[in-house]
């Protein structure tokens, strides 16, 4: 039995066209629509936008002068009588004190918050790319199980016919059928039923996982029968997008770049600690009349103050060293991230190429040969010139090869989805609908 052309007509080297029937006629889920729903439904993106807004608000607050301090008091009260007019220096005072932070620390604190806020758009871009990869993998899990179930169900009738033929030949003795042939036919049907049960379990699990991402409680989600062409794009030789120069555009790397900028400002802030912090104060003192009734002049005082960062060995120096170490650690983290992304991208690309080779062998040679062998074994058995077990084994091998081709096609698409995420900053790698979601 030939593999249905609808499964693999466009597997790797041909162009695929997505099913686009109206919703009432074709309720199956297209991958692009699932991705749109998952991105729209993802609360993490809203959380990130809220964090960015909070950081921008905090940046304005960080750049503002601290509030002045108001002081109220009574100075130089005579403790023998507490008479405010007894002594000339007795005053009721009101004053203001304004603290002026060190050097450019206000502007630097504001810049630091703005850099942290600037990280969030890259985090959201990376999150959307990760959602696309995750949802694509889940969609492909559903597709693989769904296609495998359909293929086994299509072939089950043939195995039933083989079992019936063996049983009829054994009963009527019109063919060279033995009791073990009847048992073998029943056994293979039982094995097919067991495989269907296992595949339906995997299908249900994948459907539940996919439904969680798109906010659907429908436990019987079905996907389209074709894989989007973007996931089956034929690869050209020498993809430049796996180079380090290309991968620095990845949103995860750009997010780390924002962290590095913030750490660099931390170093500048630590250097500002060597500068004095200033205070400006003004005070007005009211004096009561003298005991003789004479007026006394009120007093006004003004002054400045600053600290003296003289002993910096255990404070400023340590904080500066710590900030510089954190900056270098962040730079090292960027190098590690770049290495991991580059290695994973090259690994995914290598797997895609090897799967392309295997799929080509299956489509061009292995499947036609197995189909021919299965037909020959069945014809020989029908002509009383072959063994029933050989005919059944040939059909099982043919079915297994077709199911394995489904699995390889899904795995090829999964690896290309991973490759697309790892090169998501590239303009050369085909992408799906996440490109419509930009900040």
pLDDT at 277: 93
Q: Are 402 and 3 in contact (CB under 8 A)?
A: yes
CA–centroid distance for 400 within its chain: 34
Q: What digits encode the pLDDT tens for the residues 125-144? A: 999 999 999 999 999 999 99
* 5/405 Cα distance (integer angstroms): 13
Q: Is the pLDDT of residue 280 over 70?
A: yes
Read off the pLDDT band of 25 (50, 70, 90): very low
Consecutive H or E run containing 284: strand 278-286
State both tokens at 245.
């120069």
Higher pLDDT, 97 or 375: 97
pLDDT at 206: 93
If you average pLDDT over each of 135-139, 208-212, 385-389, which comes out highest?
135-139
Say which residue the tokens 């043939």 belong to. 158
Tell me what the mean pLDDT of segment 143-149 comes to. 95
If you average pLDDT over each of 180-184, 255-259, 306-310, which comes out highest?
255-259
Q: Is the pLDDT of residue 17 over 50?
A: no
Which residues, in sequence order, are CB contacts of 11 under 8 Å at separation 6+? 232, 359, 363, 405, 409
Give the CB-side neighbour count of residue 175, counting CA atoms within 13 A: 23
Higher pLDDT, 123 or 16: 123
* 213/193 Cα distance (integer angstroms): 31
* 86/250 Cα distance (integer angstroms): 78
Phi/psi for 174 (5° steps) reads: -85, -15
Q: Is the pLDDT of residue 261 over 60?
A: yes
Higher pLDDT, 13 or 405: 405
Q: Rounded mean pLDDT of the chain?
A: 83
* 410/131 Cα distance (integer angstroms): 18
Q: What's the start-to-end Cα distance of the chain, in Å?
A: 52
Q: Is 247 helix (H, G, I), strand (E, B) or coil?
A: helix
CA–centroid distance for 341 within its chain: 13
Higher pLDDT, 111 or 439: 111
Across 20-34, 227-241, 300-314, 340-354, least confident range: 20-34
- Per-residue burial over 307-317, b if 16 or more Cβ lie within 10 Å, else e, is eeeeeeeeebe
Cα–Cα distances (Å) from 234 to 69, 230, 239, 432, in that order, read 70, 9, 12, 16
């Amino acid at each position: 039995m030939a593999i249905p052309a609808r499964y693999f007509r466009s597997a790797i080297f041909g162009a695929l066209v997505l099913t686009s029937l109206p919703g009432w006629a074709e309720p199956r889920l297209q991958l692009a629509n699932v991705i749109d729903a998952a991105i729209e439904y993802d609360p993490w993106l809203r959380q990130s936008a809220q964090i960015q807004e909070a950081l921008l608000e905090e940046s304005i607050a960080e750049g503002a002068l601290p509030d002045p301090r108001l002081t109220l008091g009574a100075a130089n009260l005579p403790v023998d009588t507490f008479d405010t007019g007894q002594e000339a220096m007795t005053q009721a005072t009101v004053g203001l004190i304004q603290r002026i932070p060190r050097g450019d620390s206000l502007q630097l604190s504001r810049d630091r918050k703005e850099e942290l806020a600037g990280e969030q758009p890259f985090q959201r871009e990376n999150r959307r790319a990760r959602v696309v990869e995750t949802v694509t993998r889940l969609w492909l899990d559903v597709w693989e199980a769904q296609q495998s179930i359909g293929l086994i169900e299509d072939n089950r009738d043939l195995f039933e016919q083989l079992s019936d033929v063996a049983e009829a030949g054994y009963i009527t003795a019109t063919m060279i059928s033995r009791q073990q042939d009847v048992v073998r036919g029943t056994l293979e049907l039982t094995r097919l039923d067991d495989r269907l049960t296992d595949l339906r379990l995997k299908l249900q699990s994948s459907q539940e996982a996919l439904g969680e991402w798109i906010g659907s409680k429908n436990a019987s989600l079905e996907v389209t029968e074709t894989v989007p062409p973007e996931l089956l794009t034929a690869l050209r030789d020498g993809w430049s997008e796996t180079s380090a120069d290309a991968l620095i555009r990845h949103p995860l790397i750009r997010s780390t770049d924002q962290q590095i900028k913030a750490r660099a400002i931390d170093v500048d802030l630590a250097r500002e600690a060597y500068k004095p912090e200033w205070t400006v104060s003004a005070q007005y003192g009211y004096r009561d009349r003298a005991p003789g009734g004479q007026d006394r002049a009120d007093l006004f005082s003004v002054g400045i103050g600053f600290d003296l960062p003289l002993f910096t060995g255990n404070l400023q120096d340590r904080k500066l060293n710590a900030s510089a170490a954190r900056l270098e650690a962040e730079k090292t983290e960027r190098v590690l991230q770049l290495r991991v992304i580059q290695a994973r991208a090259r690994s995914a690309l290598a797997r895609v190429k090897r799967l392309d080779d295997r799929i080509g062998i299956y489509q061009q040679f292995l499947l036609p040969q197995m189909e021919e062998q299965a037909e020959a074994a069945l014809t020989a058995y029908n002509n009383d010139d072959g063994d029933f077990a050989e005919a059944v084994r040939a059909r099982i091998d043919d079915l297994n090869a077709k199911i394995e081709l489904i699995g390889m096609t899904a795995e090829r698409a999964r690896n290309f989805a991973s490759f697309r995420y790892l090169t998501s900053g590239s303009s050369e790698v085909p992408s799906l609908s996440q490109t419509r979601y930009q900040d």
